[in-house]
Amino acid sequence: MTGRGLFTPSDLVTITRAAFLAEKLTADHFSLADDEWKRNPYTVLTRKEVSDSFYQHDVFAHVVCRVPEPMRQTRTGLCEDFAIVLQDPAILRALLRNTSRDLWTLALFILTHELIHIVRFRKFGVDFFASTKDRDEEERVVYDITARILRGVSNTNELIELYRPFSGTDVYQITV
């Protein structure tokens, strides 16, 4: 961790390892093919890799997607190329607030949650552009699935209790 609130190279190694497990747990839960994440890759971005317009001070992460040019007016076949934008400052602040938490566990929690969003956008017809009310409901669903997947895994139980929907885990946002 650094004073500037950005991930260090060693933090990024930890996050990459957490992402591998999050991918596996999510794929198992949804009975996805072993090569799901190879065929449908996503990107993990950190604070310094994105512009200020992607900065969300009160969430840990959000999902963004690219909309191909011809689709921008039609809202059909919309999102391609999903990415998870991690907000280093918020994540590191949460770790500083409680030293019994560790980055590996928190990253596993966050990445599992965001990968579930991506699977649901891609395979379950969930609308990336849904109304606030529908988004709130989607957060509940994603939270419940996250809890089911992670309950008993490592020391994630405390995080499951702590970050119920609407406590600022994430938000999803479009990028064009």
**Considering beta carbons, is residue 92 or 116 the nearer one to Zn ion?**
116
Whether the CB-CB separation of 159 and 105 falls below 8 Å is answered with yes
User: Among the candidate windows 25-33, 101-109, 123-131, 164-172, which touches Zn ion by CB under 5 A?
Assistant: 164-172
Q: HEC string of the chain? A: CCCCCCCCHHHHHHHHHHHHHHHHHHHHHCCCCCCHHHHCCCEEECHHHCCHHHCCCCCCEEEEEECCHHHCCCCCCCCEEEEEEECHHHHHHHHHHCCCCCHHHHHHHHHHHHHHHHHHHHHCCCCCCCCHHHHHHHHHHHHHHHHHHHCCCCCCHHHHHHCCCCCCCEEECCEC
- How many CB atoms sit inside 10 A of residue 8's CB? 14
Using CB under 5 A as the binding rule, whether residue 36 contacts Zn ion is answered as no
Give least dist CB 48 to Zn ion, A.
Answer: 23
**Considering beta carbons, is residue 11 or 170 the nearer one to Zn ion?**
170
Give least dist CB 11 to Zn ion, A.
Answer: 22
Residues 126-145 touching Zn ion, rule: CB under 5 A, are 139, 142
What's the distance, CA 153 to chain centroid? Answer: 18
Give least dist CB 113 to Zn ion, A.
Answer: 5
Using CB under 5 A as the binding rule, whether residue 23 contacts Zn ion is answered as no
Using CB under 5 A as the binding rule, whether residue 84 contacts Zn ion is answered as no
**Considering beta carbons, is residue 88 or 170 the nearer one to Zn ion?**
170
Q: How many residues bind Zn ion (CB under 5 A)?
A: 3
Q: CA-CA distance, 110 to 94, in Å (whole number)?
A: 12
Give least dist CB 130 to Zn ion, A.
Answer: 12
Per CB under 5 A, the list member of 13, 158, 170, 176 interacting with Zn ion is 170
Closest residue (Cβ) to Zn ion?
Answer: 170
Give least dist CB 121 to Zn ion, A.
Answer: 11
Q: Residues in the site for Zn ion, rule: CB under 5 A?
A: 139, 142, 170
